[in-house]
Amino acid sequence: MKSFAMILALFSLSILAHPHPISAHIFPNASSIPSWLNRTKYAWDQFQNLKGCRHGDHLTGLSNLKTYLNKFGYIPNSPSNFSDLFDNVLQSALLTYQKNFNLNATGFLDDQTLAQIQLPRCGIADIINGASSMNSGSPVAHNATRFHSVSHYSFFPGRPRWPDHRRDLTYAFAPENGLTDEVKGVFTRAFARWAAVTPLTFTAVESFRAADIRIGFYAGDHGDGEPFDGVLGTLAHAFSPPSGHFHLDGDESWVVTGDLRSAPVTAIDLESVAVHEIGHLLGLGHSSVEESIMFPTITSRTRKVDLAVDDVTGIQELYGANPNGNPSPPSSTTTPPSSVQERDMSKGGAPKVLNSWWSPLVVAAVELFLMRQ
Ligand SMILES: *[C@@H]1O[C@H](CO)[C@@H](O)[C@H](O)[C@H]1NC(C)=O
Ligand SMILES: *[C@@H]1O[C@H](CO)[C@@H](O)[C@H](O)[C@H]1NC(C)=O
Ligand SMILES: *[C@@H]1O[C@H](CO)[C@@H](O)[C@H](O)[C@H]1NC(C)=O
Ligand SMILES: *[C@@H]1O[C@H](CO)[C@@H](O)[C@H](O)[C@H]1NC(C)=O
Ligand SMILES: *[C@@H]1O[C@H](CO)[C@@H](O)[C@H](O)[C@H]1NC(C)=O
Ligand SMILES: [Zn+2]
Ligand SMILES: [Zn+2]
């Protein structure tokens, strides 16, 4: 345990020593994105060449697909470089991936699977140290009739959460980013969505160092072993409680407000990604429920900011409901409550009894250790 804590300490030091926040590409609305940002090549376009490949194929670039699946937890770390052979390991990784994303379990790179893989997504893995949070880790995963009818929210290993005496959390922005009040307001709205359904409160403060949650835009390698990858690809990542690190890829075309449907294909709605990452900061992992905020991918030019029943059920399992009221059922038009448990929780049901949990420092350190392996 001591060595885990040491890793945490080293990690924090490296963040402080090499922050490198940048001037991010943040646009007030979709029409202010310059056309030169409408490029044709993005982080995972290369996988297009692999379309249709299957077991036994040997194709240049398959090693990159393995690296991708390794990054998100589907292939364990390999002692040597990945080869370009479509082997058993790749097949089984694809089957798990397909299960998690509600795709047909074909075991090869069919069109739907390829399209899903190329979507921009969160940088946090779907499977952490072999523990899948999504469909593939659930006992009901194989019951297709129930795919969309049960909760699929998840937690990080050890269920880390902010401790009882820390319900009023503060957040601050990396000063070097020089964000406007309008941009900061996007995060304020995103925090409010989680505060509405929990006993947590979130307050903006000036001191970046002293804040519980530290928000910054970074480009490429920024000192935490999880480099960003330019336009599209991974969009952001955040660490489990009580770490509070919230990093966004400064190379994306972030849009602050308005309709994105006619925007260039690179346009990403800032609030949508912020709501998702705050879910991680509070202790939620990824969900296989497509409508949920905690689903790992987001299509560009799309706004998705309403917590789904699945998100609310998950967060209330960690913290309980908001004591000041009856949270309105979240976005029931897009995600009708579909199980008895979900209906109860969406009416502001009593907080569940929480399981016992480890000390936050140890949990965070273990988590970090698992994520950085
Ligand atoms: C988009 O933002 C630009 C720059 O701030 C502004 O001039 C323009 O009026 C805005 N357009 C819309 C549709 O809000
Ligand atoms: C592994 O990759 C590195 C860097 O790309 C390369 O220099 C090395 O030769 C590769 N090793 C093997 C065994 O393929
Ligand atoms: C799964 O396969 C069926 C039958 O081939 C097809 O109709 C359906 O669109 C596929 N679904 C997905 C998500 O690929
Ligand atoms: C799948 O789930 C449904 C609904 O709970 C249940 O009725 C059915 O028996 C399950 N099927 C299998 C194969 O487990
Ligand atoms: C972006 O580029 C694509 C293909 O080059 C083109 O079809 C589309 O109209 C462009 N969009 C904008 C908003 O410039
Ligand atoms: Zn995520
Ligand atoms: Zn980072």
pLDDT digit string (tens) for the chain, length 373 residues: 444 444 444 444 444 444 566 788 999 999 999 887 777 678 899 999 999 999 999 999 999 999 999 999 999 887 678 999 999 999 999 999 999 999 999 999 999 999 999 999 999 999 987 776 687 765 444 444 444 435 589 999 999 999 999 999 999 999 999 999 999 999 999 999 999 999 999 999 999 999 999 999 999 999 999 999 999 999 999 999 999 999 999 999 999 999 998 888 899 999 999 999 999 999 999 999 999 999 999 988 999 999 999 999 999 999 999 998 765 555 443 333 333 233 232 323 222 222 222 223 333 333 433 343 3
Measured CA to CA in angstroms, residue 183 lies from 39, 171, 187, 266 at distances of 24, 14, 7, 18
Q: Can you read off the two tokens belonging to residue 256?
A: 């602050």
State CA 293 to chain mean position distance.
9
Catalytic residue check, 291: no
* Nearest one of 50, 60, 146 to 94, comparing CA atoms: 50
Q: Whose CA is nearest to atom 1 of ligand 3?
A: 104
Q: What is the pTM of this model?
A: 0.79
DSSP 8-state class, residue 48: G
CA distance 304 to 69: 25
Classify the C-alpha dihedral 71-73-77-82 as positive or negative: negative
The residue whose CA has the least distance to atom 9 of ligand 2 is 81
Phi, psi for 254 (deg, rounded to 5): -80, 130
CA pair distance 341, 72, nearest whole angstrom: 30
**Residues around ligand 7, an ion, CB closer than 5 A:** 224, 226, 247
The pLDDT value recorded for residue 274 is 98
Ligand 5 atom with least separation from CA of 262: 13
Rounded to the nearest whole angstrom, what is the distance from the C-alpha of residue 264 to the centroid of ligand 5?
6
Lookup result for tokens 């999880």: 226
Do the annotations mark residue 280 as ligand-binding?
yes
Pick 2-42+152-372's CATH classification: 3.40.390.10, 2.60.40.10, 3.40.50.2300, 3.30.479.30: 3.40.390.10
Residue 359: the pLDDT is: 28
Residues 207, 213, 218, 223: is their CA dihedral positive or negative?
Answer: positive
Q: What is the pLDDT at residue 326?
A: 62
| Helical H segments across 157-202, by residue range | 181-195
252 is in an annotated binding site: yes
Alpha-carbon gap, residue 287 to 295, rounded angstroms: 5
Residue 51 C-alpha from the chain's centroid: 26
CA triple 328-332-338, angle to 5 deg? 110
Ligand 1, from 29, 256, 257, 262: best to mutate by most atoms within 8 Å of Cβ?
29
Output the pLDDT for position 373: 31
Q: Is 127 helix (H, G, I), strand (E, B) or coil?
A: strand
Question: Encoding tokens for residue 264?
Answer: 């260039």
Distance CA 103, CA 314 (A): 23
Residue with CA closest to ligand 2 atom 3 = 81
In the beta sheet, which residues pair with residue 238?
246
Q: In which element (H, E) is residue 317 found?
A: helix 309-319
With a 6 Å cutoff on the Cβ, whether 145 touches ligand 4 is yes
Q: How far is the CA of 175 from the centre of ligand 4 (A)?
A: 53
Say if CB 293 and CB 307 are below 8 A apart: yes
> Using CA atoms, how far apart are residues 348 and 322, in angstroms rounded to an integer?
8
Ligand 5 centroid distance, CA of 232 (Å): 16
Q: Which ligand is nearest to the CA of 78?
A: 2
E-strand ranges in the chain read: 26-27, 127-128, 131-132, 168-173, 201-204, 213-218, 236-238, 245-249, 253-255, 267-269
Protein residue with its CA nearest to atom 4 in ligand 2: 81
Identify the DSSP state of 30: G
Annotated binding residue at 249?
yes
Peptide bond into 242 cis (omega under 30): yes
